[in-house]
Amino acid sequence: MKIVPGSDGTPINVLEYEEYAKEYLPKNAYDYYASGADEMVSLRENREAFKRLVLRPRVLRDVSNMSIRTTVLGQEITSPVCIAPTAMQRMAHPDGEIASTRASGKTGNCYILSTLSTTSLEDVAEANPSGLRWYQLYVFKDRDITLQLVRRAEKAGYKAIVLTVDTPLLGHREADVRNHFSLPGHLQLANFAKVGGDHAHGVKGLGDSGLAQYVSSLFDLTLNWEDVKWLKSITKLPVVVKGVLTAEDAAIAVEMGCEAILVSNHGARQLDGVSATIDALPEIVAAVKGRAEVYLDGGIRRGTDVFKALALGARAVFIGRPVLWGLAHSGEAGVLNVLKILDAELKHAMLFAGTARLADVSPQYIRRGLPAFPSNL
């Protein structure tokens, strides 16, 4: 697809930002960000599932007083479009996580920092001191690493721990194998630079699958729900469980006292063949029964996608790859524009659907199944 930007050369939608990133990023960096596991069936489904949901707009509704403000875990945000954790953002732009967190702060939404970031959690906090920041965490084989990261996040003012639970090890991504993907030599996994012991070097300069092997070596195949209970015992911060796709696991998470669930298939990067997140959302919302907040990531590219997720019960959505495409284009300004585009598209969808407030958006505005459009249209 040829990029047809706005009159000033700036992309006018998220898809155009991705086209730019695909053209200008190094191939191994773009493929690392863009690819999914194995045949990437679930990666495609994350998008296709949204297309199967048809909007049911209501007409003659007063939509003159439009607002997309909401709250997550009691904290007010200006938009339900928030930033998901994505690893190694400095491959997309030299400012990496600093740029994306500043854009989040200027927008007034929620920002989740990845443990596998190329900027330390302290530096990210310093760049966005007043913004709402959450910290994404793995429970590592060495529990002391996990404990150190939690304490640092608490000290740096992060307001929640987002525990990724779908990663007993890294998924099999064939593009990375073909490209012999490695972290560029000038970058490091910065959060490990301040961890004691053998991990203090920040894994700088690991090449040709060394990075994947190193990170996978940290994960624990024995991880289970008792470890969630342990995490709850060592911090007073709310815990968001990220990577839940079934009603059964959602119910257990609530029973464990987790304050929120992020419906996610890890950008379809872990297990191929799992359901699209938007397809998994309704059963999880039903299982939670309002006892915890429910969010969604995966496949969001348009404001209508945001609308559909909110209609099916998500309180907020988190975007990952679109942020990377904005970074690749123009750093902080690119991320800021991606967020503005999605906010504007969401308001547009709400206006035409007849919903002035997020509280008005409900399942009645959604129908499953593509309409049979006449072939001559």
Binding residues for glyoxylate: 32, 138, 173, 266, 269
Binding site feature residues for FMN? 85-87, 114, 136, 164, 242, 264, 297-301, 320-321
CA distances from 368 to 50, 65, 361 (A): 10, 29, 16
Task: Report the distance separating Cα 215 and Cα 229, nearest Å.
Answer: 24
Task: Report the distance separating Cα 29 and Cα 182, nearest Å.
Answer: 9
Backbone angles phi, psi at 366, to 5 degrees: -125, 140
- DSSP letter for 302, please: S
Alpha helices in 235-315 (DSSP H): 247-255, 277-288, 303-311
Alpha helices in the chain (DSSP H): 14-24, 27-34, 41-51, 96-107, 121-127, 143-155, 174-179, 210-218, 225-234, 247-255, 277-288, 303-311, 321-353
For 187, how many CA atoms within 13 A lie in the half-sphere containing its CB? 22
Rg over alpha carbons for the chain, rounded to the nearest Å, is 20
For residue 261 the two structure tokens come to: 């669930």
Q: Which residue type sits at 22?
A: K
Backbone angles phi, psi at 365, to 5 degrees: -90, 5
Binding site feature residues? 32, 85-87, 114, 136, 138, 164, 173, 242, 264, 266, 269, 297-301, 320-321
Q: Which of 186, 266, 329, 348 is catalytic?
A: 266
CA distances from 365 to 44, 66, 115 (A): 24, 17, 37
Tell me if 243 sits within 8 A of 167, measured CB to CB.
Answer: yes
Task: Report the distance separating Cα 87 and Cα 189, nearest Å.
Answer: 9
Q: Is 266 one of the catalytic residues?
A: yes
CA distances from 143 to 114, 148, 167, 209 (A): 18, 9, 16, 24
List, by residue number, the catalytic residues. 266
